[in-house]
Structure 1
Amino acid sequence: MNEDIEVVRGSGNVFRDFGYQGSDVEQTKSILAARIIGVLNDMELSTRKAETLTGINHSEFARIRRVKLDRFTIDRLITILNRLNQRVEFDIKLFPRENANSGFSLVAE
Structure 2
Amino acid sequence: MARTKVSRHKSAAVTRGSGNVFADLGFPDADERQTKLRLAYALNAIMDAQRLTQAAAAAKLGLNQPKVSALRNYRIEGFSVERLMTLLTPLDQDVEIVIRAKPRSRAAARISVVGV
Instruction: Report the TM-score range of the alignment, normalised by the length of the smaller protein.
Output: 0.7 to 0.9
Aligned residue runs from structure 1 range 1-12, under 5 A: 1=8, 3-12=10-19
Question: Could you tell me which residue of structure 1 aligns to residue 112 of structure 2?
Answer: 106
Q: Please give the alpha-carbon distance, in whole angstroms, between the structure 2 residues aligned to 1:15 and 1:94.
A: 21
Q: Please give the alpha-carbon distance, in whole angstroms, between the structure 2 residues aligned to 1:104 and 1:80.
A: 23
Q: Please give the alpha-carbon distance, in whole angstroms, between the structure 2 residues aligned to 1:22 and 1:51.
A: 28
Instruction: Note the residue ranges of structure 1 that are not aligned, 5 or more in a row.
Output: none
Deviates more, 1:61-70 or 1:71-80: 61-70
Larger Rg over CA atoms: 2
Aligned residue runs from structure 1 range 9-20, under 5 A: 9-20=16-27
Question: Could you tell me which residue of structure 2 aligns to residue 40 of structure 1?
Answer: 47
Q: CA deviation at 1:65?
A: 0.9
Q: Please give the alpha-carbon distance, in whole angstroms, between the structure 2 residues aligned to 1:91 and 1:20.
A: 25
Which of 63, 69, 91 lines up with 2:70 in the alignment? Answer: 63
TM-score norm. by structure 1 comes to 0.79
Q: CA deviation at 1:87?
A: 1.9
Structure 1: 4+ residue segments shifted above 3 A:
89-95
Q: CA deviation at 1:61?
A: 1.4
TM-score norm. by structure 2 comes to 0.75
Change (3 A) 1:105 1:11: farther
CA-to-aligned-CA distance 1:7-38 (integer Å, 9 cap, x gap)? 21111100000001211000000000011111
Q: Give the fraction of aligned pairs with identical amino acids, expressed as a percent.
A: 31
Question: Could you tell me which residue of structure 1 aligns to residue 96 of structure 2?
Answer: 89
SS at match of 2:88: helix
Q: Please give the alpha-carbon distance, in whole angstroms, between the structure 2 residues aligned to 1:107 and 1:8.
A: 25
Q: Please give the alpha-carbon distance, in whole angstroms, between the structure 2 residues aligned to 1:10 and 1:91.
A: 26
Deviates more, 1:26-35 or 1:50-59: 50-59
Counterpart contact for 1:28–1:106, Cα < 8 Å: yes
Does residue 31 of structure 2 align to residue 24 of structure 1? yes
Residue-pair matches, total: 104
